[in-house]
């Protein structure tokens, strides 16, 4: 089962997808409204959802005042690759990996998030750009973990590598955030630390990079990351927190326009996105 946002018959709504069938989630008109509910109440409404939706088009399950945030350097591979790309200040990544406080940063407002099948972008002023496949937790207004998404935290390695203070430019730009089309409820995932993550990058119809990892390699607890995020923030419409990457194509690999990025996280979902370059190629997102 997944909690989804859909367009059908000229309206946008929220529903529950079981297999290929979508039913209406009664009493809410947005994902933001659903995330104002306690987990127990949301679960009860999902169980009661029965009215079918004809021919729905699935949309990214973020809306309203929802935001996407992300955590960095939460896996050993992320620490090591960040150190490798940052010749001027490699030690900051080792220090934050070992520190009590995690690295957390804003990633995207709801309207900037793309969904499954929609393009992600690489920057025109960057030499090395990579996908970062990540398990994302969906958190309600009360700070409870409601469910999980697949997230692609697209990043410029060359910009962040020039100077760690350039991280916002490396991470936050039009087309840099994609999520899967449905929120997998937390109550249906018995162990979020035993999920297989797979990344495949296709170019000209051939696989040019592939890797697998496990959320069992995560250096921090999910509730720990959420706790730090909510210490100084209020999210009245809920928030998505992407929890860091465990798969990084080695230098000097970079994405190119026309590539296709395919991410799969067991028990959560799949996210497949083509790659474009620059702001002009993402203007459709501004006007959506």
What pLDDT digit, counting tens, does each position of 80-118 carry?
777 777 777 778 888 889 999 999 999 999 999 999 999
* pTM higher than 0.85: yes
Structure letter (DSSP) for residue 56: -
Q: What angle do CA 146, 244, 155 make, to 5 degrees?
A: 120
What pLDDT digit, counting tens, does each position of 152-168 carry?
999 999 999 999 999 99
Give which of 142, 172, 150 is closest to 238, Cα–Cα. 142
Give which of 220, 232, 256, 112 is closest to 173, Cα–Cα. 112
H/E run at residue 50: none
Domains in the chain, please, with CATH? 2-59 (no CATH), 67-287 (3.90.850.10)
Dihedral in degrees, nearest 10, Cα atoms 174, 87, 165, 122 = 0
Residue whose entry in the numeric block shows the structure tokens 């934050």? 96
Structure letter (DSSP) for residue 52: B
- pLDDT of 134: 98
Distance CA 173, CA 197 (A): 25
Residue whose entry in the numeric block shows the structure tokens 């730090």? 228
What pLDDT digit, counting tens, does each position of 66-83 carry?
999 999 999 987 887 777
Distance CA 144, CA 283 (A): 34
In this prediction, residues 48-62 reach a mean pLDDT of: 96
Distance CA 21, CA 18 (A): 5
Burial (CB < 10 A; 0-12, 13-18, 19+), residue 12, is: middle
Distance CA 51, CA 224 (A): 38
In this prediction, residues 57-65 reach a mean pLDDT of: 97
Mean model confidence pLDDT for the chain: 96
In this prediction, residues 161-177 reach a mean pLDDT of: 96
Number of neighbours of residue 95 by Cβ within 10 angstroms? 12
- pLDDT of 94: 87
The band of 176, judged by pLDDT with boundaries at 50, 70 and 90, is very high
What pLDDT digit, counting tens, does each position of 113-140 carry?
999 999 999 999 999 999 999 999 999 9
């Amino acid at each position: 089962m997944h909690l989804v946002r859909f367009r059908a018959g000229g309206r946008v709504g929220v529903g529950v997808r079981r297999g290929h069938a979508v039913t209406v989630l009664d009493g809410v008109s947005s994902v933001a409204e659903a995330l104002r509910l306690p987990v127990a109440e949301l679960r009860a409404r999902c169980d009661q959802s029965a009215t079918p939706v004809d021919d729905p088009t699935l949309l990214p399950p973020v809306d309203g005042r929802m935001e996407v945030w992300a955590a960095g350097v939460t896996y050993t591979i992320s620490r090591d690759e960040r150190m490798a790309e940052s010749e001027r200040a490699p030690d900051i990544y080792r220090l934050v990996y070992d520190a009590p406080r995690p690295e957390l940063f804003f990633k995207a407002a709801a309207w900037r998030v793309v969904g499954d099948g929609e393009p992600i972008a690489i920057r025109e002023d960057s030499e090395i750009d990579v996908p970062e496949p990540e398990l994302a937790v969906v958190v309600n207004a009360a700070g409870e973990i409601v469910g999980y998404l697949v997230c692609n935290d697209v990043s410029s390695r060359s910009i962040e590598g020039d100077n760690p203070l350039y991280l916002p430019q490396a991470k936050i730009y039009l087309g840099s955030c994609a999520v899967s089309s449905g929120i997998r409820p937390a109550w249906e995932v018995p162990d979020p630390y035993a999920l297989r993550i797979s990344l495949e990058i296709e170019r000209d119809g051939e696989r040019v990079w592939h890797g697998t990892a496990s959320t069992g390699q995560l250096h921090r607890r999910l509730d720990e990351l959420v706790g730090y995020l909510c210490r100084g923030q209020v999210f009245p419409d809920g928030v998505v927190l992407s929890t860091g990457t465990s798969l990084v194509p080695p230098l000097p690999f970079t994405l190119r326009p026309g590539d296709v990025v395919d991410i799969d996280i067991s028990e959560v979902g799949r996210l497949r996105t083509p790659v474009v370059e620059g702001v002009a190629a993402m203007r459709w997102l501004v006007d959506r």
